Homo-oligomer: A and B are copies of this chain.
Amino acid sequence: MNKIKKYIKEHEKKFLNELFQLIKIPSISAGSGHKQDLIKAAELWREILLNCGVDQSVILGTKGNPVVYGEKIINKDKQTILVYGHYDVMPVDPVDEWKSPPFEPEIRDNKIYARGADDDKGQAFIQAKAFEYLVKYNLLNCNVKFLIEGEEEIGSPSLEKFCSDNRELLKSDVILVSDTSMFAPEIPSITTGLRGLSYIEVEVKGPDVDLHSGAYGGGVPNPANILAKMIASLKDDNHVIQIPGFYDDVIKLDRNERVEINKAPFNVEEYKKAIGINDIEGEAGYTTIERVGIRPSLDVNGIWGGYTGEGAKTIIPSKATAKISMRLVPNQNHEKITALIKKHLFKIAPPSAKLNIKVLHGGQSYISPLDNKAYIAAGKAINKVFGKFPIPERSGGSIPIISTFEKVLGTKSILLGFGLESDAIHSPNENFPLDQFFKGIETVVWFYKYFCE
């Protein structure tokens, strides 16, 4: 087992070269412009799995992007680990803010810079390389299945059906996922809770065409003004969400739980500096850690309408649109919340406006127990490599499929992620520190050992 450090050292260049081949494929799942690239990425993953030592690997179709499945069954009586990852990535706009092209991976300051460097090509690759080592040195003491999908960044719309159609194939004792972050290399953490998500697109339509703002200004509905007013009314001055029923299912944490959560390292000045904001902002009565971890939130993700070019164009836009998403906490049902916001928006829209709402995305929240075998094994593995036991973390992000796995397959997941906050996933200049990449491989190897003992 102790040879893993040496093995990584000897294969550094090879590992990076292989990962870069994967990163270079612009497998963006949002929109419909990258279908071929998504298939290319799936095919490359199949090859990667075969080269790492699975018995077989296949590309399985879904209604959307295909799923890559692979397995190595050493003994049907032994435990089975199902490794989950995704080969799709986020879009890259605003592309001019990237210091190097998003799909031409570059190493600067000991970090890999590229879209997908962390999320989730880099992190899923950790799983492949740890598995490769275990197979090569005959150290594997359990069965392993791989499930690499291509729609995570758009909410895994096809995976629930895929899981319920393939319950037997996907049967396992634990689902192992590297797609989250830890606080810092010196403060390792494991994500034990994920927020859910409800994501809609609201279009407000006014006049048939853009109108001259001089001739009509003051007399006709302006969809951009109306949309702004509707958005503004969704939260009060204390940042409390004003959709009736929104908080009905939120479970209030007791004092002790809140104290525990606030033990996570947090420095407000460093936080502000790191993301370049003048001040923090959020629901009154909660700390930043609570606001982004255990409280639901509502954000405009995008907004557009009317003239957005250079200079002045004196028009009243014909329509205005916003993408609005809500992060949800345990016990909030994303379908219920989506229905509530839709109903509310239709209620508050003025009679002069025509409203069109599309549901783009949804997922349940998730909580992982701290006393299960996988969490304990992961903690020991992290301690072995990072020198400290991890802090359990309630993360603000969503991996909707994690709660779907629990619902459909009845299996808990362990979120053994090696990203850092500074990795800028979903943003320009996404990166992944080489040290986290290599330590991640080492940690996963130890996880196998402790879990299968």
A193 to chain B, nearest CB (A): 12
A285 at the interface (CB under 8 A from B): no
A258 to chain B, nearest CB (A): 15
Give the interface centre of A305, A313, A396, A424 by most chain B CB atoms within 10 Å: A313
User: Which segment, of A105-113, A202-210, A372-380, faces chain B?
Assistant: A202-210
The answer to whether A306 and B302 have CB atoms under 8 Å apart is yes
Per-position contact with B for A221-242: 1 when CB-CB < 8 Å, else 0? 1101101110111010001000
A31 at the interface (CB under 8 A from B): yes
> A265 to chain B: which residues have CB within 8 Å?
none
The answer to whether A275 and B224 have CB atoms under 8 Å apart is no
Per-position contact with B for A426-440: 1 when CB-CB < 8 Å, else 0? 111100000000000
Q: Complex formed: what's the CA distance from A97 to B327 in Å?
A: 36
The answer to whether B295 and A218 have CB atoms under 8 Å apart is yes
Q: Complex formed: what's the CA distance from A304 to B320 in Å?
A: 9
Within 8 A of B (CB), among A283-317: 283, 288, 291-292, 295-317
A353 at the interface (CB under 8 A from B): yes
A249 to chain B, nearest CB (A): 17
Within 8 A of B (CB), among A306-353: 306-317, 320-323, 325, 327, 350-353
Q: Complex formed: what's the CA distance from A220 to B30 in Å?
A: 25
A216 at the interface (CB under 8 A from B): yes
> A219 to chain B: which residues have CB within 8 Å?
280-282, 288, 291-292, 297, 396
Within 8 A of B (CB), among A382-411: 395-398
A273 to chain B, nearest CB (A): 10
> A291 to chain B: which residues have CB within 8 Å?
218-219
The answer to whether A213 and B97 touch (CB under 8 A), given A282-B219, A312-B30, is: no
A261 at the interface (CB under 8 A from B): no
The answer to whether A299 and B213 touch (CB under 8 A), given A218-B327, A283-B218, is: yes
> A55 to chain B: which residues have CB within 8 Å?
none
> A429 to chain B: which residues have CB within 8 Å?
209
A211 at the interface (CB under 8 A from B): yes
Closest residue of chain B to A322 (Cβ to Cβ) is B224
The answer to whether A216 and B396 have CB atoms under 8 Å apart is yes
Q: Show 9 A/B contacts (Cβ-Cβ < 8 Å), sorted by A.
A: A211-B426, A216-B275, A218-B239, A221-B278, A224-B300, A277-B352, A300-B306, A302-B313, A314-B361
